[in-house]
Amino acid sequence: MQKDLNEKGSSKRAVAKYVRITPSKLSLMLQKIRGKTYFEALKILSRAPQKTGTAVWKVLRSAAHNVAQKSVKKDLLICEAFVNKGPILKKIRPRAKGKAYKIEKKKSHIYVLIKRI
């Protein structure tokens, strides 16, 4: 049996995979919006100067549209917001005297779960 999307307690999630931002930077931004309402989180993210704000903002809007496509969004609560490690792109930077330094380009997967209250 499927839940009606207009029911209280119905929740949906959105995922952004392979985002080219490190998980540690994203987790700092997700801590700020976890447990907030949808509009409070949008205010926090729109004023954030970091690049992570825009990536999380896109996922948050997608999750909100999944829950309430054409209805009121003022009664949405962010239940869960977390980030997982993605694949790491490894490169080598040539240095003097035949040495090489390793460069790791880290990627992340962002998960946001929104619930109607």
Residue 86: inside a domain, yes or no?
yes
Flag whether 31 is in a domain: yes
pLDDT of residue 3: 47
In a domain, 106, yes or no: yes
Mean pLDDT of the chain: 89
In a domain, 2, yes or no: no
Total count of domains within the chain: 1
Residue 1 lies in a domain: no
Q: CB under 8 Å to 17, separation ≥6 — which residues?
A: 86, 109
Tell me the CB-side half-sphere exposure of residue 4, using CA atoms within 13 A: 4
3-state class (DSSP) for residue 44: helix
pLDDT digit string, tens, across residues 53-69:
999 999 999 999 888 76
pLDDT tens track for 16-38:
999 999 999 999 999 999 999 99
Range of the domain at 86: 11-116
Side-chain-facing half-sphere of 45: CA atoms under 13 Å: 23
**Residue 93 belongs to a domain with what CATH number?**
3.90.470.10
Q: What is the pTM of this model?
A: 0.84
**pLDDT for position 1:** 37
Find the mean pLDDT for residues 74-83.
91
In a domain, 61, yes or no: yes
What span, in angstroms and rounded, lies between the C-alpha atoms of 15 and 94?
A: 36
C-alpha to C-alpha distance for 27 and 7, rounded to whole angstroms? 30
